[in-house]
């Protein structure tokens, strides 16, 4: 069993919003985006289109935990960006996913 | 599709309503979209994230609306998790008591209108018990007993009248 670090645990407890939250963080890793732009980007990178209910359920959780923050905007579309904590949590989660993927590939190669 | 927005809690709409509406307006209407928004509304009521939110950009034109909403919310219910837990426990115990009472009375009096009325009054009574226990918890116990007792008695008498009239028709 892989050991979880404190940063990795930041993304726990998201329930059904775990995967959307991770996709949002990946989308914001490139720079600030607003909701519609995130939906488009996530569809391109992962092939799933997040509905607004799911998108904002995940955004609210990420914001409440300080992993992302809103930027001031003059129009209706509020952009968000990753915080330092969010960046660390994303890095840690991606590292642990890569470790699992590498182990899986290695085991499949020997199967 | 913006007609679905009022399903979300007021505080949530103040924070995310505008941008949510913009995203919603950009999507094609479908059953899947409606279900997604409905599930999101249920989630926003069950797991409100707003009070934990650290930062919130407040534009100049937001301030008045926000202040008005806060003033309106002063008299509104502010249930703590403990209030909810106590009310839920009270409702559960009441449900068990009422179910037992109904079984015992049915055994003795069969389908008498008074027993039927108890059956029909159970569900609304439990809702009333939950609400009153939660909202009146900090009031004097006599006030709680009086308001809850009067409410339950009124509800039972109404159901009893309905059963008596229904049996005669």
Q: What domains lie within chain A, and their CATH numbers? A: 6-110 (1.10.10.10)
A80 three-class SS: strand
pLDDT of residue B60: 45
- Between the two ends of chain B, the Cα-to-Cα distance in Å is 46
Does residue A41 belong to the interface with chain B, where contact is any CB pair within 8 Å? no
Averages of pLDDT over runs of 10 residues in chain A (111 residues) are 57 79 95 93 92 93 92 82 93 93 93 77
Distance CA A44, CA B23 (A): 17
Q: What is the ipTM of this complex?
A: 0.82
Q: Which of B11, B50, B137 minimizes the C-alpha distance to B86?
A: B137
Of A36, A56, A70, the CB nearest to B57: A70
Distance CA A74, CA A58 (A): 23
Of A34, A61, A64, the CB nearest to B19: A34
Mutate to test the interface with B, among A60, A72, A73, A85 (most CBs of B within 10 A): A60
Which residues make Cβ contacts (< 8 Å) with residue B64, sequence separation at least 6? none
Please tell me the total number of residues recorded for chain B in this structure.
169
The 10s digit of each residue's pLDDT in B54-96 is 444 444 445 566 556 555 554 445 667 777 788 888 888 888 8
Of A52, A57, A69, the CB nearest to B27: A52
B134 three-class SS: helix
Q: Distance from B76 to chain A by nearest Cα, in Å? A: 23
Does residue B60 belong to the interface with chain A, where contact is any CB pair within 8 Å? no
């Amino acid at each position: 069993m892989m050991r979880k670090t404190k940063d990795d645990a930041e993304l726990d407890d998201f329930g059904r919003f775990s995967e959307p939250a991770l996709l949002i963080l990946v989308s914001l890793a490139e720079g600030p985006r607003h909701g519609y732009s995130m939906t488009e980007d996530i569809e391109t990178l992962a092939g799933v289109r997040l509905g607004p209910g799911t998108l904002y359920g995940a955004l609210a959780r990420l914001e409440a935990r300080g992993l992302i923050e809103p930027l001031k905007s003059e129009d209706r579309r509020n952009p968000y960006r990753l915080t330092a904590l969010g960046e660390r949590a994303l890095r840690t989660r991606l590292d642990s996913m890569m470790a699992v993927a590498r182990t899986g590939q290695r085991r499949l190669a020997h199967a | 599709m913006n007609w679905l927005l009022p399903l979300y809690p007021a505080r949530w709409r103040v924070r995310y309503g505008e941008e949510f509406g913009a995203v919603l307006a950009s999507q094609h209407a479908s059953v899947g979209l409606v279900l997604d928004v409905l599930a999101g509304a249920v989630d926003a009521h069950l797991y409100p994230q707003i009070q934990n939110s650290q930062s919130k950009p407040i534009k100049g034109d937001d301030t008045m609306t926000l202040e008005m909403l806060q003033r309106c919310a002063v008299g509104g219910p502010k249930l703590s998790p403990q209030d909810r837990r106590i009310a839920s426990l009270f409702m559960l115990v009441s449900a068990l008591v009422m179910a037992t009472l109904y079984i015992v009375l049915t055994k003795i009096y069969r389908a008498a209108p008074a027993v039927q009325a108890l059956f029909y009054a159970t569900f609304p009574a439990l809702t009333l018990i939950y609400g009153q226990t939660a909202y009146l918890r900090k009031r004097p116990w006599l006030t709680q007993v009086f308001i809850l007792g009067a409410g339950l008695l009124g509800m039972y008498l109404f159901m009893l009248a309905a059963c008596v009239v229904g049996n005669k028709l």
